[in-house]
Every structure is written in structure tokens, then in C-alpha cells.
A and B are shown apart, each in its own frame.
Chain A
């Protein structure tokens, strides 16, 4: 007796409309906003700047500050090109060592 073969079910094609409704962040390449450690900026100052630029509560700002301090850098955000540029501009205005990198 011939075996009953269970057919492979192909994933249903995603309708184009659904794809277009996906949030932009899933479709556009992302850019990481990174703050790098340096010997000159005070920890309290860095915490304050993170609170001001990102609107974070103190605890979250301190967490990222400690990452910068202990690990050499912290990824602060993943954003679109324009938004990432905006954040880097703001951080550099406070003289923090901040850059944006492609999220590979």
C-alpha cells in the first residue's frame, strides 16, 4: 500500500497590503545610537544628558551610563536614519562621544 504522504504546507503568502501596514521600523534599515566611553565626562553628567535627550527616568539613564563606563560603550537606541542623526546631534551638543552605526 502506498504510503499516505502528508503534503508540505507552504506558508501563506503575506498579502501586499499587510506588508505595507507593517511598522516602518521593521522595513527600514536601523541605525544604532551609541555612546562611547571617555576619560573626561563625569558619570553624573552623562546620566543627566541621557535623561534630557531621551526622556528616560534616572534608573534607566544610570544603567546605560554604567554600561558606557564598564563596557566601553552603550547602545542607546535603534532608530531610523533621521532620528538617529537627531539623537547624535543632541548628544554631541553636550560633548558626549556619540555616533551612529548601521545595525548589521
Chain B
């Protein structure tokens, strides 16, 4: 990636977490045994994940050695484990931005770009861009 791309990448990551911490239902249509406790466990697991991912992100952003300078630009060095949590972080930003935009049925067909919507449109599209690059790197496609 180029220097500008790196700056955009880090700016994007600083938006995490973007998905509102509202409870996400464990079940849509069924009454589960001990439903309250199960839902609480899910909420706690997701909250714990946010804390962990935040810590990992901070480490990444401070570790300049991860961005290796090459003649053609910069190379971000990630392990497979790094890639997984980074994918989760990027998707949180993408989904969170989509929610902020009102969860449109077609994320690409917004009525208009306003000062209010532009930051979330940018975050949604950029996180998708970096997600696809990470997935390509994983699959070798």
C-alpha cells in the first residue's frame, strides 16, 4: 500500500468499534431454555471480543515495524491470526456504518450524500475495500 493508503487504513481502524453495542438476539423465533442467561452470555462474549480487538488494534497501530517500506510502497505484515481479528474489526466498521446509515436494503443506492452521511458511506466502502484485499491475500486469489 502507498503512504496515503496506509494513512486512510489507520484512520479507518480508529473508528472501531462502530457497531452499536445493542444486544443481538440469540434466537429469532424460538424460546430457548434459560433464555435470559444465554442472551447475557452472548452479550458478554461480544463485549469481551470488542475489548480484545481494541487492544490488538492499539498494538498494531503502535507497531510501525508491521509496515515494511518497499520500493513500490508499504507492505503490511500480518499473521493469519492477525488477519482474522482484522477482518472482524473491518466488518464491525462496515456493518456499523451501514446501521448508522439506516440499514438500507441496497447499501449502494442511497438517496443522497450529505455532510451527515458521507463519513459513514466512506467508512462502509473503505472497510469493504480492505476486507476484500485481506481475503484475497488469504486465499491467494
Contact = CB atoms under 8 A, between A and B. Distances in A.
Interface of A: 31, 34, 36, 39-42, 44-45, 48, 52, 81, 85, 88-89, 92-95, 99-102
Given A42-B131, A48-B135, A89 B42 contact: yes
A85 B38 contact: yes
Contacts, number: 76
Contacts of B25: 99
A99 B32 CA distance: 11
Majority secondary structure, A binding face: mixed
A99 B28 contact: yes
A39 B105 contact: yes
B30 A48 contact: no
A48 B136 CA distance: 11
B29 interface: yes
Nearest to B104: A39
A100 B135 contact: no
A77 B139 CA distance: 25
21 contacts: A31-B30, A31-B32, A39-B98, A39-B104, A39-B105, A39-B107, A40-B107, A40-B124, A44-B135, A45-B131, A48-B139, A85-B26, A89-B42, A92-B42, A92-B46, A93-B45, A93-B88, A95-B92, A95-B94, A99-B25, A100-B32
4 cross-chain pairs, A with B, having the tightest CB-CB distances, nearest first: A102-B30, A40-B98, A101-B30, A95-B95
Contacts of B46: 89, 92-93
Nearest to B24: A92
Interface string B71-107: 0000000000000100110011011001000011111
A89 B26 CA distance: 8
B42 A36 contact: no
Contact of B135 (A45, A85, A93): A45
A75 B32 CA distance: 17
Interface in B92-133: 92, 94-95, 98, 103-107, 124, 128, 131-132
